[in-house]
Amino acid sequence: MTKNVSPPNGGRPLFSPRPELGVSHGHSMTPLLTMHEEIQPPFDPARAVYEAERCLECGQTGVPAPCTVACPAGIDVPGFIRNIRLGRLSEAQDIVFAENPLAGTCARVCPTPVLCEGACVLNHIGLRPVAVGRLQRMAADWSEPSRGAPPQRSSPRIAQVAVVGAGPSGLACAQALSAQGVTVTVYDAAPSAGGLVCTAIAPYRQPDGSLAAEIQRLEASGGVRFEFNRPMTTREDFRRLEDRHAAIFLGVGLGPDKAITIPGHHLAGVWAALPFIERAKTGDWTPRAEHLIVIGAGNTAIDVAREGIRLGIPEVTILYRRTPDKMRAYPYEVREAVQEGVRFQWQVEVQEILGTWRVTGVRCRRTGAGGDALLELSADFVVSAIGQQPRSDLSQLIDGLAWNGSRLVVDPASGQTGNPRYYAAGDLIGGTTVVEAVRGAKVAARAIVQSVRRNAG
């Protein structure tokens, strides 16, 4: 498959896949991983209680536990775990949703090894951390038929606020505003809510998803109205929002994938990451490919590669122009990808995609010491995962916005943008996870409520 003109790392990937784990690798093995096979399946009650009993319940009044400090949403982790241990699932559920309206989604998709579980004190004594994510999932998913929906708010509504974008940041902002008596209209260009949670986050993290239930909770709380298929794309659109609303929250995330412009980028079999993942998420796709090459080294590149393995592609290789320590992907995810059979080639820059009609390979330049040597790899599928486009187009629609590179600048204490009527959070301001979007949205909602109360009083 591989024709090395001058291979980096002696032609071997830095890490070797481990076929002994019984996962797909090469042509000789039947893939055992499937697209919707969950990597963190739910606990049964006995296992949940066992796990809850491992929690040391750190923290005290005024001194939150390290796991709570590490949670961007600020969930009282020992509090909900204690309630699981005592069998009080409704109380545990109230605790997780009190701080995070997407608690079930986050329980499935959060990078817990670098957040709550990474901060667990058990790590310091050489023990496995408490499985906070899976316990949170149990609390969030708990359903008690007699309990019904959260009560509707009957108190007078204090203002009208527009939320643009029904992704994680928009949903979390809408929830926090509504809980404070603000009437919220959420506008989204898409036909339904969820943003990247629906279209991009890997199905093996959330095959049964909990977003639908979370949106139902939000709708049941009263005060939030959705308008789908409503893209805000002109100055006039935003002027109309300004006329009718006391404040506007921007939760529009980032744009489509950045385009690669190297020769051959137009060939059949060359895809961008987001359409690849969206197609993979349909669950009814079997790409006819023998060797998938992924360009990039962030979490999205890792997701594409791991999904490629699950789609049954026998050989999957990530190409990255720098050294492994410069990768933006979480190291634990890189390790998991390697265990599943993903190969890596470091310090190679793709210069050209080869082929006449369909892609047949890539030509790369070695970027490390002794650079300039060329390397050709054969491939019949290439996915570029080099990040999403910034949303600086918004500056043509809204006055006063400022940018730091691709990030919209906000006051970190309030989420307020350079235009005092506008607030923002999520990927638009540089976030990279659902839980960061939730955190930023809560900050913005608090500031919006203070502002409308000040103006009303």
Ligand X SMILES: Cc1cc2nc3c(=O)[nH]c(=O)nc-3n(C[C@H](O)[C@H](O)[C@H](O)COP(=O)(O)OP(=O)(O)OC[C@H]3O[C@@H](n4cnc5c(N)ncnc54)[C@H](O)[C@@H]3O)c2cc1C
Nearer to ligand X, 116 or 437 (CB): 437
Which residue, among 390, 440, 263, 381, has the nearest Cα to 448 in the 3D structure?
A: 440
Q: Is 231 in the site for ligand X (CB under 6 A)?
A: yes
Residue 78 interacting with ligand X (CB under 6 A): no
- Shortest Å distance, C-beta 296 to ligand X: 11
Q: Tell me the backbone φ, ψ of residue 422, rounded to 5 degrees.
A: -115, 140
CB atoms within 10 A of CB 155: 8
Q: 253 to 312, contacts with ligand X by CB under 6 A? A: 253, 277, 300, 303
- With 0-12 / 13-18 / 19 or more C-beta atoms within 10 angstroms meaning exposed / middle / buried, residue 394 is buried
**Closest CB to ligand X among residues 130, 434:** 434
Report the C-alpha gap between 434 and 196 in whole angstroms.
9
Task: Yes or no: say if 246 and 160 are a contact pair by the CB < 8 Å rule.
Answer: yes
CB of 180 to ligand X, least distance (A): 20
CB of 26 to ligand X, least distance (A): 26
Smallest separation (angstroms) from ligand X to the CB of 24: 20
Contact positions with ligand X (CB under 6 A) in 208-227: none
Site for ligand X in 172-191 (CB under 6 A): 187-190
Q: Output the smallest distance, CB 97 to ligand X, in A.
A: 17
* Residue 19 contacts residue 341 (beta carbons within 8 Å): yes
Strands of 43-158 (E only): list them: none
Instruction: List all residues 6 or more positions away from 143 whose beta carbon is below 8 Å from its beta carbon.
Output: none
Q: Given the rule CB under 6 A, which of 21-29, 145-153, 247-255, 313-321 is the region that contacts ligand X?
A: 247-255
Among 67, 232, 337, 382, binds ligand X (CB under 6 A): 232
Rg (CA), the chain: 23
Answer positive or negative: Cα dihedral of 263, 266, 270, 271: positive
Site for ligand X in 302-361 (CB under 6 A): 303
CB 51 within 8 A of CB 135: yes
CB of 350 to ligand X, least distance (A): 20
Q: Is the dihedral of CA 334, 340, 344, 350 positive or negative?
A: negative
Among 106, 120, 144, residue whose Cα is nearest residue 51: 120
Total chain residues near ligand X (CB under 6 A) = 37
CA distance 358 to 133: 43
Q: Sketch the per residue contact string, 119 through 158, with ligand X: x for CB under 6 A, - otherwise.
A: ----------------------------------------
Q: What is the token pair recorded at 29?
A: 């093995």
- Give the one residue of 112, 169, 178, 185 binding ligand X; rule: CB under 6 A: 169
In the complex, minimum distance from the CB of residue 53 to ligand X, in angstroms, rounded to a whole number: 28
State which of residues 109, 119, 139, 377 lies at the interface with ligand X (CB under 6 A): 109
CA dihedral 139, 143, 147, 150 (to 10 degrees): 70
With respect to ligand X, which residue has the nearer C-beta, 129 or 165? 165
Shortest Å distance, C-beta 312 to ligand X: 20
Compare residues 52 and 438 and give the one whose CB is closer to ligand X. Answer: 438
Kindly indicate which of the ranges 163-171, 305-313, 343-351, 445-453 contains the residues binding ligand X, using the contact rule CB under 6 A.
163-171
Give me the least distance between CB of 49 and ligand X, in Å please: 27
Q: Which is nearer to ligand X, 83 or 210 (CB)?
A: 210
Question: Does 166 contact ligand X by CB under 6 A?
Answer: yes
85 or 407: CB nearest ligand X = 407
Q: Is the dihedral of CA 107, 112, 115, 121 positive or negative?
A: positive
Of the pair 52, 437, the CB lying nearest ligand X is at 437
DSSP secondary structure letters along 137-165: HHHHH---GGG-SPPPP-SPP-EEEEEE-
423-442 mask for ligand X (x: CB under 6 A)? ---xxx--xxxxx-x-----
Backbone dihedral region of 426: left (phi > 0), alpha (psi from -120 to 50 degrees) or beta?
left
State the CB neighbour count (10 A cutoff) for residue 327. Answer: 21
Question: Among 168, 203, 264, 269, which residue sits at the site for ligand X (rule: CB under 6 A)?
Answer: 168
Residue with Cβ nearer ligand X (5 or 39): 39
Contacting residues toward ligand X, per CB under 6 A? 109-110, 164-170, 187-190, 195-197, 200-201, 205, 231-233, 251-253, 277, 300, 303, 426-428, 431-435, 437
